[in-house]
Structure 1
Amino acid sequence: MAAPSKPAESGADLELVGITKQFPGYRAIEELDLSIPAGSFFALLGPSGCGKTTTLRLIAGLEEPTSGRILIGGSDVTGQKPHERPVNTVFQSYALFPHMTILENVSFGLKRRGVSDYKVKAIEALKLVELDHLAGRKPSQLSGGQQQRVALARAVVNRPALLLLDEPLGALDLKLRRQMQLELKTIQTEVGLTFLHVTHDQEEAMTMADTVAVMNRGRIEQLGAPQELYELPRTAFVANFLGQSNLFTGEVLEATDALIALEVGGRRVVVPAARAARRSGQVTIGVRPEKLLLHLEEPSLDGVNTLGPGRVVDVSFSGVSTQYLVAVPGVGQIIVFSQNLVHGAVINRGATVWLTWSIEHGFGLEDIAETRPHFDDEASAPGLPGVVAEAV
């Protein structure tokens, strides 16, 4: 039996080299290369079926790759069994021993390994998650959030080189989940371990991670800091999966070192050349809903793009903001998020509006997004030809 790799107190870097995973009938992972620096909080984000959980299971040793290598702290662990790897996993199901106390749960692994001061280390881990005062209770006497923190303490107490988090907050309610997001990030900073967090929750990934990899169909679509991915997505998938985006496809009218201009809905729309991946032919550009402003009269402003007129076909109040759905002839339906600075919606359904956004807030994609339906039926919106009268 191979000797377990030695855990690093400050975490270890993880490297996946040409990882492929073939299941009968389909390929879950396609030539995946990934490098995660030691001590970082890394999120693998994507929809169900994209391959993120398979990737985690490969790293944990619960699955074997069809090809490729897995290195932790520079050591090749591809052929090692799960218990031989310097890795611990925290699952969505807490997997605590119901007949043991919290202290016994956390110290279980240490005790089995013959660590002499296992109780002291277990108490330290419980203090880290602020549950040392509940050490004598059973799991059934704790809330869901408390049980998840116990599971985290049990994983951290072993000081693994790498901690894998598999949708760990999915079973919690919204308020507790947001609280735990902040606590997890604080704990990761304090213990200095390398965290790999697998999730489908965009907010969760962006709140906690230093780096996010958006995964799609067994490949990493884009990787970077959360703000970078949000402000400058490279593909339509990333633009729509990480938050919401308004995407417009049009023919390039002009391309210079400074800007790219397209025709969208009969208007000239500009994006900075530095924020665009394509410069000729059909190009898809986008803008986030919160970057848009609504106007009841056609504006005449410098340094902005303008679309319209359109009609507000839906208004949804969500607390901190109001979502407007605006149908624009020849363009489609555009989403606008407006912060509630007064008492909710300030523009009513049915209003005629124009939309503007700063040129610097636009981005251009590498691929071409599917075109939205253009509303060419004049009967669809009485009084404003070409606009639908209801939201889809």
Structure 2
Amino acid sequence: MARSSGVREATGDLRLESVTKSFGGFTAVDDLDLLVPRGSFFALLGPSGCGKTTTLRMVAGLEQPTSGRVLIGDTDLTGSRPFERPVNTVFQSYALFPHLTVRDNVAFGPTRRRVREAGALADEALALVEVDHLASRKPAQLSGGQQQRVALARALVNRPEVLLLDEPLGALDLKLRRQLQVELKRIQTEVGLTFVHVTHDQEEAMTMADTVAVMNHGRIEQMGAPAELYDLPRTAFVANFVGRSNLGAGTVLGRDGEHLSAEVQGTTVTVPLSRAQAREGAVLFGIRPEKVRVLREAPEGTGDDVRGTVLDVSFTGVATEYLVRLPSGTVWSCYEQNLDVDPVDLRPGDEVWISWNPAHAFTVPLDEAEAAAAAEATG
């Protein structure tokens, strides 16, 4: 009983130390070290099977590590059961009790723990997520977005040290999902709890989180602020998974002051050394689609450029996407914002020049599999 009480009262940063989780011969999480500062909004981002949900389940106590430790502050949670931990989870499935009212659903936890004024705490939590006017309804009378807010209130009412969000918006339509992204960030800021959000949706992670960790094959490939991950990826996987990138395999030719030059599929390009994760030998050169300009005439200036042929033009509302085939056969994606100022009237088959500022380019270590996946996605 003393251990359970001590675990439940743990406070501080969430830490994972050398955590590995294996299922038979498959390693889902591989020697993971992670620090989530107390009071932060943290996102674990990655594709299905990367280990993010297994990591969350180990923090929740639903799985135990094969090796390593899970801690909050200096308190070791490893081996403790879910109900003993100061951790609550909000699932995509909501998991509300259908026979109870909204208010009783939210008050369920405090009532079971014999907390005084459980009903008042439930009312406060419902007001926080802005569904207090639905307190007397049953879950079946609510929309999906309303049910998700109730599920969040039910977790928040316990004031956990860490709140885990397991793909909580995955079942909602796009407009509602974006609305709740803003609401979740507001709520996290207001209550000041540690939120750990697991998702495969990079827009969702980048919209809400202070820090994003990109997972792949049970390991963290890169971790940092959303803008940092997007602007300066360190691996081909991150460059492809967080947004889209035009990537091309090349070879470094040399350095010129604070820049390196590389030959990429027949074109010489330059990259600032500060943006070059790979600086010698074989590299993967990258530039984001919105950083590339599409021109009818050869550009004048100091930027890098190459000639190509328009393959496709797609109007997406705020922007137009051009797919341009380069002499090497590679297809690049280029976004032009629709400003109605001298629009470029292009059609498939037109000859164009694409140009970019070298200050926006980057290099990462060459990963043949990721380079092939990028080429297949755009080609």
On whether the aligned pair clears a TM of 0.5, the verdict is yes
CA contact (8 A) 1:311 1:351 kept: yes
More helix by share: 2
1:36 to 2:36 alignment = yes
Q: In structure 2, what is the Cα distance between the partners aligned to 1:264 and 1:285?
A: 7
1:182 matched to which residue of 2? 182
Provide the C-alpha distance between the structure 1 equivalents of 2:257 and 2:86, rounded to a whole number of angstroms.
Answer: 50
**Within 1, Cα distance between the matches of 2:354 and 2:317?**
22
* Distance apart, 1:257 and its partner CA: 4.6
Contact 2:246 2:289 (8 Å CA) reproduced = yes
Q: Which whole-Å deviations, capped at 9, do the CAs of 1:167-219 have from their partners, x for residues lacking one?
A: 00000000000000000000000000000000000000000000000000000
Which residue of 2 is the match for residue 3 of structure 1?
A: 4
Alignment correspondent of 1:333:
331
1:369 offset after TM fit, Å? 4.5
The verdict on how the C-alpha distance between 1:251 and 1:140 changes in structure 2, with shifts beyond 3 A counting, is: same
**Corresponding residue number in structure 2 for 1:324:** 322
Deviates more, 1:77-86 or 1:248-257: 248-257
- Indicate if the aligned counterparts of 1:13 and 1:35 stay in contact, CA closer than 8 A: yes
Q: How many angstroms does 1:316 deviate by?
A: 1.3
Shift of 1:265: 3.7
The TM-score, its normalising length taken from structure 2, stands at 0.95
Query: CA 1:284–1:72 in 2, change beyond 3 Å: closer, same or farther?
Result: same
CA distance in 1, matches of 2:200, 2:344: 31
1:31-81 Cα offsets, whole Å, 9 max, x none, are 000000000000000000000000000110001100000001221000110
- Aligned pairs for 1:213-292 within 5 A: 213-292=213-292
* Alignment match, 1:388: none
Asked if 1:143 corresponds to 2:139, the answer is no
Query: Distance in 1 between the 2:12 and 2:95 partners?
Result: 25
Stretch of structure 1 that moved more, 277-286 or 88-97: 277-286
Stretches of 4+ aligned residues off by more than 4 angstroms: 369-373
Hey, what's the Cα distance between the residues in 2 that align with 1:3 and 1:284?
51
DSSP-derived class of the 2:353 partner: strand
**How far apart are the structure 1 equivalents of 2:23 and 2:338?**
49
For 1:349, the equivalent position in structure 2 comes to: 348
Q: In the aligned structure 1, how far is the partner of 2:282 from the partner of 2:365?
A: 11
Counterpart of 1:74 in structure 2 is 74
Q: Which runs of 5+ in 1 are unaligned?
A: 376-390
Per-residue deviation, 1:6: 4.1
- Write the deviation string for residues 196-247 of structure 1: whole angstroms up to 9, x where unpaired: 0000000000000000000000000000000000000000000000010001
Name the structure 1 match of 2:361: 362
* Shift, 1:293, TM fit: 0.2
Q: Distance in 2 between matches of 1:19 and 1:88?
A: 20
The CA distance in 2 between the partners of 1:56 and 1:236, in whole Å, is 25
Residue aligned with 1:100, SS: coil
SS in 2 for 1:163: strand
8 Å contact 2:249–2:265 — kept in the other structure?
A: no
Q: How far apart, CA to CA, are the structure 1 residues paired with 2:169 and 2:362?
A: 32
In structure 2, the partner of 1:89 is: 89
CA contact (8 A) 2:20 2:31 kept: yes
One-letter code of the match for 1:346?
D
State the match for 1:163 in structure 2: 163
Q: 3-state SS of the aligned residue for 1:3?
A: helix
| 1:346 CA drift (Å) | 2.9
Identity over the aligned pairs, expressed in percent? 60
Output the CA distance in 1 between the equivalents of 2:159 and 2:77.
18
The answer for unaligned runs of 5 or more in structure 2 is none
Whole-angstrom distance in 1 between the partners of 2:311 and 2:339: 22
Answer whether contact 1:235 1:365 (CA < 8 A) is retained: yes
Q: CA RMSD in A?
A: 1.7
**Is the 8 Å Cα contact of residues 8 and 84 (structure 2) preserved in structure 1?**
no
Letter aligned with residue 27 of structure 2: R
Distance 2:294 2:67 in 1: 53
1:28 Cα shift? 0.5
State the secondary structure of the residue aligned to 2:62.
coil
Are the counterparts in 2 of residues 45 and 52 from structure 1 also a CA contact under 8 Å? yes
